[in-house]
Amino acid sequence: MEEDKKQQEPNNASKFIKIKKFPFILGIVLLIFVTAGITAIALSFGDEKVQSFAPIAANQREEFDKLYSTYDTIKNKYYKEVDDNTLINGAINGMLESLDDPYSDYMNEAEAKSFHQSISSSFEGIGAEIQEQDSRIMVVSPIKGSPAEKAGIKPNDIILSVNGKSLHGMSSSEAVTHIRGKKGTKVELMISRGNASEPIKITIIRDTIPIETVYAEMLPEGIAKVQVTSFSDNTAKDLRTALEDMEAKGMKGLILDLRGNPGGLLDQAMEISSMFIPDGEVILQVEDRAGKKEVIKSENNGELKKPMVVLIDKGSASASEIVAAAVSEAAGIKLIGEKSFGKGTVQTAEDFKDGSNFKYTAAKWLTPKGNWIHKKGIKPDNAVALPSYANLLYISPEKELKQSSSSAEVKSAEAMLKAIGLDPGNVDGFFDQETKAAVTKFQKDHKLKATGTIKGSTTMKLMEQLREKILQNDTQVKKAADVLKKEIK
C-alpha cells in the first residue's frame, strides 16, 4: 500500500464520489504486524485523513483556565522539572481517554510514525489485530498465515503482558510499540483466554507480514471460495482478478469468506459491496452527531450474477460488517457462521506539526435498512460453529508435558491428539500411560524423537496437525457449500 493512501478510483469517475466527504478509518484496530505489528500498526485512512486547525489562545476560552492553571503550577512548583511536551501530550491523551472510546486515541511521535508506516506493502511483526477494551488489549483477529496465527493466537484473546511488561491501561497505539519488533526477533506474550484458570505464555518469532488480502480456491462441484482478510488499497482490484480466475475455472457459485476480517478502507468496502448489490440500492448510511445521514448507493456493473453466500464470525468487524450487512439487506445474500464483532463507528485522524497525531470517532454507520450494529454484531442466517477442537487452549512449546503431570495444557494436548485420530485415553488433563503411548506414536509417525513427552518440535507439529484438521473439517464452509448447491440446482 502507498503511504499517501489515495482513494482508489473506480471504472467510472463519479463512482462513490460521496465517500470522499468522509475521511474515515474503518480498520477496527491496529495491525500488529509488528515491525510494527494490526504492526505493523495498521489502521486505514480515507482520502482526506489530515485536517488543519489553529491553536486556541488561553485568554479566548474560559474553560481552559483550569488547564493552564494546572500547567503553570506544575511548571513552577512541582518538585522537579517537567518537559513541556510531556505535559501537553498528557493533557491531550487525557481528553481522549475521558471519551471512554477505544477507537479514539492519541499517538506520540513514535506511535504516529508506526501508524503511518503501516500504510505500505508489508510489515515486520507478529500479524495480529488488536484493540483496547476496558483498559485491556484484546486481539480482534490474527492475520491469515501470520506468526500469530501459527502460534495459536485467537480472536478475543487478552494480551496481559509483553516480555514481562504489563499492558494494562495502555492504548492500542502504545501497546503496539511494545509488541512490534524486527523480523527474526522473539516476543513473549502472556495471554488470557476465556475461562482458562492460568495465563498462557506464547512465544512468537516476528516475521515479515505481506499485505495480501485476497485468497481464492476452487472447491468441488464448481464452488469457489474467496477469502478477503482485510480491506487495503488493492483489495477490490484483487478480488475482481480472483473472481475472473474462478469464472475461467468454471465457477457456479461463490463463498465470500469474511471470517477474521477486522476491516480496512471504506472505499474498498464500498466498491466490493457494489459488486454484489443491484444498481441504485443502498450500501450503507453514515450518520453524524447532528443526525444527518449520508446515503451511499451501489453502482453495480453486473459483475457477478452467480449464487453467493457470505461467511462471518466474531472476528469479522467494521468494514467487513459493512459488506456483510449490505449484501444481506440489499441483495438478500445469506450469511453463514457466527455473529460478527459489532463495530458501527468510523474514525478520522489529524496530524500535529511535531509528527504526533490523534484519531477520534467522527460518525456512526448504519446498515441499508438503518440498523446500528455497534456492540451487537450481525447475526448470520445460518448459525454454524466450528468443531470444538478449533477452540482448544494453546500449548507453549517451551513447557514440557510429561507422564504424571496434570494441567489445562495436558487436557488440551489430549484433545488435540484425539482430534487428529490418536487415542490418549480419557481427556481429563492427567498425563497417564495411555497419553504417553499416543504421544510416542505421534512422534514416530512424524519422524520426531520418540520421547513420549510434549515439548518444542512435538508441540509445534501437534498444533500444526490440528490446524490442518480444522481446515479439512471446516463446518462453516461445508454448510455454505450445501446452501449454494441447492441454489445452483
Question: Active-site residues: which are they?
Answer: 318, 329, 343
Q: For residue 349, give every residue at least 6 positions away whose Cβ sits within 8 Å of its Cβ, in sequence order, or none.
A: 23, 25, 43, 45, 49, 50, 115, 357, 358, 359, 360
Contact 118, 42 (CB under 8 A): yes
Q: For residue 188, give every residue at least 6 positions away whose Cβ sits within 8 Å of its Cβ, in sequence order, or none.
A: 162, 163, 164, 201, 202, 203, 204
CA count, 13 A, side-chain hemisphere, 461? 15
149: left (phi over 0), alpha (psi -120 to 50) or beta: alpha
- Cα 271 → chain centroid: 20
The residues facing 207 across adjacent strands are: 125
Distance CA 152, CA 416 (A): 13
SS in 3 state form for 210-222? ECCCEEEEEEHHH
Burial per residue of 454-463, b for 16 or more beta-carbon CB atoms within 10 angstroms, e otherwise: bbeebbebbb
Contact 141, 260 (CB under 8 A): yes
Cite the DSSP H helix spans in 191-336.
235-248, 266-276, 319-331
Q: For residue 447, give every residue at least 6 positions away whose Cβ sits within 8 Å of its Cβ, in sequence order, or none.
A: none
Using alpha carbons, select from 220, 230, 213 the residue that is nearest to residue 265.
230
Could you give the angle at the alpha carbon of 116 between the alpha carbons of 203 and 315, nearest 5°?
50
Contact 187, 204 (CB under 8 A): yes
Using alpha carbons, select from 39, 28, 124 the residue that is nearest to residue 320.
28
- Cα 423 → chain centroid: 35
Give the type of residue at 454.
Answer: I
Contact 87, 386 (CB under 8 A): no
DSSP 8-state symbol, 234:
T
Cite the DSSP H helix spans in 180-318.
235-248, 266-276
Question: What are phi and psi for residue 300, nearest 5 degrees?
Answer: -75, 135
Contact 223, 252 (CB under 8 A): yes
Contact 28, 318 (CB under 8 A): yes
Distance CA 236, CA 268 (A): 6
